[in-house]
């Protein structure tokens, strides 16, 4: 028997420590994960959601784009569908506006008020916005329409969480 040989006792003790440690880790890891779970979760506000719209399909005319994502409401998870009005501005930049009227939360539409063409129009209290979302003075809305952060991945448009603006 050479000097460096492992004795039966040593072999058993190494193996058992190894296996035991592995088992303990198996039990402790999920517990640790539960404890720090909120830290590991990505911030929902920073998530970008894919829309079915391709960037190449956009024109200078705002188009309605619906997109769906999961929302958790207490213990109940549901599919929520949101809408954005998306167009390309004169510089070719993609602009995505929230359709939620800043007055009381109705849904605005593009170019539906015959008396005021090429504006966003809220049918509830006749609020109006310019194409870039700027609220038109003399109509009820106190602020411009919220703006979605935009990303383009693989040709498709992704939208973040709509951000309020104080001026345009």
Partner 1 sequence: MHEMKWIPEDIETYLNVKEYVDTVVVPLYGISMDKEMKQSAEAAEFITLLTTRIERQFTGRLILFPPFTYLKKDPIEKALADLFEWHNVLKADFKHIFYLTSDSDWRLKEDMLQGTLIWLPSIPLKSMNDSQKFELIDNQSQQLFSILTDKWIESE
Of these, 49, 94, 100, 136, which contacts partner 1 (CB under 8 A)? 100
C-beta of residue 82 within 8 angstroms of C-beta of residue 100: no
* Site track for partner 1 across 48-87, x = CB under 8 A: ------------------x-x----------x-x------
C-alpha 140/C-alpha 106 separation (Å) is 12
C-beta of residue 61 within 8 angstroms of C-beta of residue 48: no
Is 106 a binder of partner 1 (CB under 8 A)?
Answer: yes
Residue 7 CB neighbours (<10 A):
9
Instruction: Reduce the DSSP state of residue 62 to 3 states and report it.
Output: coil
Is 142 a binder of partner 1 (CB under 8 A)?
Answer: no
Residue 121 CB, nearest approach to partner 1 (Å)? 10
Which residues are near partner 1 by CB under 8 A? 66, 68, 79, 81, 100-101, 103-107, 123-125
């Amino acid at each position: 028997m050479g000097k460096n040989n492992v004795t039966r006792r040593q072999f058993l003790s190494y193996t058992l420590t190894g296996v035991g440690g592995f088992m303990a880790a198996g039990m402790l890891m999920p517990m640790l994960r539960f404890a720090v779970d909120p830290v590991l979760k990505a911030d929902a506000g920073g998530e970008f959601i894919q829309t079915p719209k391709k960037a190449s399909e956009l024109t200078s005319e705002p188009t309605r784009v619906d997109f769906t994502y999961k929302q958790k409401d207490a213990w109940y998870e549901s599919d929520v569908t949101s809408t954005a009005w998306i167009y390309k501005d004169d510089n070719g930049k993609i602009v995505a506006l929230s359709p939620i009227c800043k007055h009381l939360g109705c849904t605005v539409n593009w170019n539906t008020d015959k008396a005021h063409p090429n504006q966003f129009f809220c049918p509830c209290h006749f609020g109006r916005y310019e194409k870039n979302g700027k609220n038109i003075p003399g109509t009820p809305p106190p602020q411009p329409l919220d703006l979605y952060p935009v990303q383009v991945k693989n040709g498709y448009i992704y939208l973040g969480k709509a951000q309020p603006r104080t001026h345009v």
